[in-house]
Structure 1
Amino acid sequence: MKKHLVKVVLSSVVVAVSFSSCKNSSSSSKNVSRATGWKINAKDGGFQYNSDFKEQETPPGTVFIEGGTFTKGQVQDDIMHDWNNTPTSQHVQSFYMDETEVTNKMYMEYLDYLKKVYPPENPMYANIYKGALPDTLVWRNRLGFNETMTNNYLRHPGYAEYPVVGVNWIQATQYAEWRTDRVNEYKLAQEGFIEEDALYGVLNGEVDGTFSTEAYLNNPESVYGGQIDSLQGKQKKDSINSFAKRSSGIISPEYRLPTETEWEYAAQALIGTREYNNYRGRKKYPWEGDYTRNGQRVGRGDQLANFKQGKGDYGGIAGWSDDGADITGQVKSYKPNDFGLYDMAGNVSEWVADVYRPIVDDEISDFNYYRGNIYTKKAIGEDGKVQIIRDSVVFDTLPNGKVVAVNLPGEIKEVPVDEQETYLRTNFSSSDNRGYRDGDPGSSRFYQRFSDDEEDNRKMYDSPKHKVERDSTGKILRQYDTSNYRTSLINDEVRVYKGGSWRDRAFWLDPAQRRYLPQYMATDDIGFRCAMSRVGSKSKSKNKTVRHKKSK
């Protein structure tokens, strides 16, 4: 009996020691190269890498959208008879998306930052803040009294959690770029790479210059006006690497506008109708059912979105409002879809990243489809380093006369890719791919290869090109395009917007519907939300179905 007990005890000790050694071996193997056997993250130097990285954190304000396959395009009756979104099978990679539209409060934080860091009273900065301001005059109507919204909608606290409007496509993309830098700047401060005082020191004028994610990654000594050495945090003392890199796993991918395919996939939220590896039919709206009213016991009869129900009916009868809003409504006023996204139908339509084309090529990409790629690279100076825009601001005058900042001080200068990147490639051959396989001269029925006649070589998509110039006194001179050769309202500066708004009938609530507007124009019923690509695994779920049984 005693011998048996001794054997059991010894066996337990052996198992415990074995488990401990396996655990230590597993832990240490992460810091030993499987390629060379050298140590990784050694205190003496060598190769440094984040071996403890698990998965990308969900960015602030977003929800996770697990990618998958779906039918993109219009699958309901086409009462317009245009079929400009023909059904195609698409696969979307996983990504993150704002749970609500960007609100006035969120956009005001952006404006506040610009005003403090780039004071408008400084002539060099005057157009930075002005160029980011939403166009509040979009509320005006020749035969309607809307001056209350013109003066109050953006700034009054009563509209703080309402979606921002009057923002054109260019302003929306610039907001996303600014948000990327602020989120990464904050994460670096949390991880000890930057002193937290630096963040607010920039706003208070105590720190010169600003933080740019790409500038930090490519030339970290350039951020904060070259003061980064004095603004580094505890990591400078505790780590071999004073600066974070992409391999550190701390820097997030950029915020951006979602592609049209991503937006439509997220709006449909077909995951709510999934059974194993199939979808149970199609969805007409972001919610289940063929009607806009709630059919459940709780809230039965309530509208499920903010939209125009009929001529002169934007919200229903006083005292019993159908949708609780006459113009835009406060975000999260209605139930989210199965992905957890609010207002993917109604409230405001939303800008997406794509350039608009009415016809989609039969041989389009069926993986992350997107039209609008312009490939650039970082400009390299004579010293071999990336060029940082320091004491100047690059502006662009839009066709409507609005001036916007293209590059801010502290950002990296980008230039189009050239033959050095495109030579003998099969996947792309030029920097600008907005008109690829659609809208190029060869696509036009007027095209004649060997003719120099302008009339013979009209493009398929060549909307009017208005010019805005300034005279010697700075006065704006607007020149309207009166050419008789223009054949379309579409060109490479026309962008897609999706989803119905408070001004639209129920027809436009279908996620497959698509419309377009020049990227420099804004309205009182178009807003936007941001997205971010998922890096790493497709799914967050750790429980995967066993695909095969182990043999005995």
Structure 2
Amino acid sequence: MRKLFLLIAVISLLASCGRGDQGQLVGVQGKKWHPEKPLGMTLIPGGAFIMGKSDDDRVGLNNAPPKTVTVRSFYMDETEITNSEYRQFVNWVRDSVVRMKLAIFAEEMGETPGSGGIGEYAFADTEEENMSVYEKYMYDNYYSMGGYEGRKLNKNVDIIWDTRDYPDEYYAEVMDTMYIPIEEVYNGQRSIDVKHLKFRYSWMDIQEAARAEPGKRAEFIKTEEIAIYPDTTVWIKDFNYSYNEPMHNDYFWHDAYGDYPVVGVSWKQARAFAQWRTLYHNTYRKERGKHNVPAYRLPTEAEWEYAARGGLESASYPWGGPYTKNDRGCFMANFKPLRGDYAADQALYTVEAQSYEPNDYGLYNMAGNVSEWVFSSYDPGSYEYSSSMNPSVNDDANMKKVVRGGSWKDVAYFLQVSSRDYEYADTARSYIGFRTVQDYLGTDVTLNQTR
């Protein structure tokens, strides 16, 4: 009995030494978190500001009464999302759709990687010997029961776009479905049918879940499927009796406009882009064993106005104001100046996203160029009932979403940092774009204290 007691004591001592905590409460030791500034973003230090009109509401909207609010720190895109950046999203969705179609058809035809041709694009779980224990478990318990949701695509083989190099008839048949019908082809150019380019994602309505009675988590998970290609016809539909065909034909896809802000994107498409950007970034980090980063998202109305002010209290514009010209007589933004002379500011339509001088937070074109979607729903009285701490008003039933900043076709009033406007969530315009934000985690950073 004595020997058994001594043995237990020795084991206990060894276990304690192995922990290294000497039996004290030290907390769970996880990975060290090192805040990283996302590429193309700048850190906006949290703080308080007076949100709303600091002078008379000249158009009598009466929907922006001054209110002191506080926002937490966040990262924000230095520029509006450009055509080039949005094309990266479009190309990723296009490639994913093609790979899924190829994998499904390969399975239906019984083709596997060993058979060559379309078989090289079969699902990665087709060959059991190459699956991990977890992948095999998921396949046996979920994926093998029908459907293709969650199946792993084979991304180790390149998609073949040149019709002269198609490996077999099955491959050609799948690719044929991705292009516009032959009868719609003109000028010898058969382009991708953009109706196939849809991005599907799920998200959890945490606000609704937190206020509801305890229930199943699945009740608050929502799935969206969004056609993500910009509506290039906005350049025609927004302007009656106006010749804008060159912008319709070339603005989104031509490299000449790569650094210009993307337009023709609805609020829903802008949200889908933010979801994809999160997925894309975290997939890369997961492969390297790193922490996930906070989700990219659209800014709230309060965050947008706070960032646009650049730390200037009661200013009319991001550069201060009250004038739209500097001391050399040059316009400070791209808008509709004077008596409607679009070219007076040296730009007829949009300008490159990194044009004019940035505000004191390093943000470009927070006034003019393109108006920007924010997450918030438009309600004239929202300032009256919204919280003064990180205010955010978004009602899924309210399709009116706030746009801020004014655009290349707006007069100076709409360039003011406190001016509000709205558009419907499923509507795209030739003068509305967006930029994204990401929450800042870790050591607190405010205007009063930076550590």
Give TM class, smaller chain.
Answer: 0.5 to 0.7
Q: CA deviation at 1:269?
A: 1.1
Distance 2:380 2:449 in 1: 42
1:49 aligns with 2:90: no
The code of the aligned residue for 2:39 comes to P
What is the rounded CA distance, in whole Å, between the counterparts of 1:328 and 1:92 in structure 2?
30
1:135 to 231, 245, 263: 231
CA RMSD after TM alignment: 2.6
Per-residue deviation, 1:38: 7.3
1:86 alignment partner AA: P
Q: Are 1:171 and 2:261 an aligned pair? A: no
1:129-157 per-residue CA deviation (whole Å, 9 max, x = no partner) reads 78110000000033110000001000111
| Alignment of 1:535 onto 2:449 | no
Secondary structure in 2 matching 1:354 = strand
Q: Would the aligned equivalents of 1:168 and 1:522 in 2 still touch at CA under 8 Å? A: yes
| 1:511 aligns with one of 382, 403, 417 | 417
Q: How many residues align?
A: 314
What letter is aligned with 1:494? K
Match of residue 181 from structure 1: 279
Name the amino acid aligned to 2:320: E
Q: Which residue of 1 aligns with 2:126?
A: none
Work out which of the residue numbers 392, 402, 416 in structure 2 matches 1:370: 392
Residues 64 and 383 in structure 2, CA contact (< 8 A), matched pair in contact too: no
Mapped pair 1:309 → 2:407? no
Q: Is the 8 A contact 2:367 2:406 kept in 1?
A: yes
- Deviation for aligned residue 1:362: 3.2
Contact 1:86 1:360 in 2 (8 A): no
> 2:349 aligned with 1:294, yes or no?
no
8 Å contact from structure 1 (residues 166, 524) kept in 2: yes
Q: CA deviation at 1:32?
A: 5.6
Greater share of residues in helix: 2
Runs of 4+ that moved beyond 6 A: 122-125, 540-545
Q: How far off its partner does 1:78 sit?
A: 1.1
CA positional deviation for 1:363: 4.1
Letter in 2 for 1:131: A
Sequence identity percentage: 39
- In the other structure, the counterpart of 2:360 is 338
Q: Report the CA distance between 1:126 and its aligned residue.
A: 2.6
Partners of 1:173 and 1:256 within 8 A in 2 = yes
Distance 1:48 1:543, change over 3 A: closer
Give yes or no for contact 1:32–1:39 (8 Å, CA) kept in 2. no
Alignment of 1:147-162 (within 5 A): 147-162=245-260
Deviations 1:205-237 (A, max 9, x none): xxxxxxxxxxxxxxxxxxxxxxxxxxxxxxxxx
Change (3 A) 1:310 1:94: same
Q: Are 2:299 and 1:258 aligned?
A: yes
The match for 1:417 is none
8 Å Cα contact 2:73-2:446 kept in structure 1: no
Deviation of the 1:360 alpha carbon: 2.4
Structure 2 residue aligned with 1:88: 67
CA contact (8 A) 1:72 1:90 kept: yes
Report the 3-state secondary structure (helix = DSSP H, G, I; strand = E; otherwise coil) of the residue aligned with 1:184.
Answer: helix
Residue pair 2:90, 2:197 contacting (<8 A) in 1 also: no
Q: What residue is the counterpart of 2:58 in the other structure?
A: 79
Q: Provide the C-alpha distance between the structure 1 equivalents of 2:379 and 2:26, rounded to a whole number of angstroms.
A: 53
Name the amino acid aligned to 2:319.
W
Cα contact 1:32–1:38 (8 A) shared by 2:
no
Distance 1:544 1:142 in 2: 51
Cα distance, 1:133–1:363 mapped onto 2, change above 3 Å: closer
Query: SS of the counterpart of 1:118?
Result: helix
Alpha-carbon deviations, 1:187-221, whole Å to 9, x = none? Answer: 334xx33xxxxxxxxxxxxxxxxxxxxxxxxxxxx
Task: Report the Cα offset of residue 82 of structure 1.
Answer: 1.8
Whether contact under 8 Å (1:307, 1:502) holds in the other structure is: yes
**1:257 alignment partner AA:** L
Corresponding residue of 1:347: 369
Residue in 1 that maps onto 2:398: 492
User: Partners of 1:325 and 1:348 in 2: how far apart?
Assistant: 12
Give the conservation status (yes or no) of the 8 Å contact 1:99–1:340.
Answer: yes
Distance in 2 separating the partners of 1:133 and 1:288: 37
CA contact (8 A) 1:139 1:146 kept: yes
Indicate the residue corresponding to 1:116 in structure 2: 95
